[in-house]
Structure 1
Amino acid sequence: MINGKQRAMLRKMGNRLDPTIQIGKGGINENVINEARRELFDKELVKISVLRNVPESTKQISDEIARQTGAEVVQVIGRKFVLYKRNEEEPIIML
């Protein structure tokens, strides 16, 4: 669990990121979850964009991906959101 100060730092870092995963009309599937897990393991902080043709809200999608990957939602803005999951073996971001 991250506190407010840590969340603010992660939001600041997330603002500079480009989305590395896009969720299309197929929604959340096994490939999206696996890619999110891989990105979170490699980078700890991931920005994901949701295309306009997705019927679910960005908040619903971010919560579901966070639940399935064990990550935390740092920020949801419009059609993009940022996830964080600490790499216990080799931490990259020091909070």
Structure 2
Amino acid sequence: MLTGKQKRYLRAEAHHLTPIFQVGKGGVNEAMLTQIEEALEARELIKVRILDNCEFEKNEVAEALAEGTYAELVQLIGLTVVLYKESRKNKKIILPKSSK
């Protein structure tokens, strides 16, 4: 579970990223989740765009993406979802320590 400070840091890191996946009319499926998991392993932090023609609520899509990939939902802003998952092999992002 990410702290507020860590989420703020990740939002700043994600600001310059462009979405590398799109969720369209069909919604979230297994093949998409597999590809997103692989991208998260390689990059740790990604953006996913929800298209206007998506038949599902954006909150449902964001939750389905986070749960299906075992990732943290960093942010849902407009129709853009930011996901973070710590990589096992390619660790690049060092999160700030929690103040506890």
State the TM-score, normalized to the length of structure 1: 0.95
Please list every run of 5 or more consecutive structure 1 residues that lacks an aligned counterpart in the other structure: none
Provide the rounded CA distance (Å) in 2 between the counterparts of 1:58 and 1:13. 22
Q: CA deviation at 1:51?
A: 0.5
Pair 1:14-2:14 in alignment = yes
Describe the SS at the equivalent of 1:88. Answer: coil
Amino acid of the structure 1 residue aligned with 2:56: E
* 1:34-49 mapped onto 2 (5 Å cutoff): 34-49=34-49
Partner of 2:2: 2
Partner of 1:26: 26
Which structure has the higher relative contact order (CA within 8 Å, separation 6+)? 2
From the CA coordinates, give the structure whose radius of gyration is larger: 2
- The aligned length equals 95
State the TM-score, normalized to the length of structure 2: 0.90
Provide the rounded CA distance (Å) in 1 between the counterparts of 2:52 and 2:64. 18
1:16-74 CA distances to partner (integer Å, 9 max, x unpaired)? 10000011101111221011101100000010001111121211111111111110100
1:72-93 CA distances to partner (integer Å, 9 max, x unpaired)? 1000011111000001333110
Partner of 1:60: 60
Describe the SS at the equivalent of 1:5. Answer: helix
Identity of aligned residues (%): 37
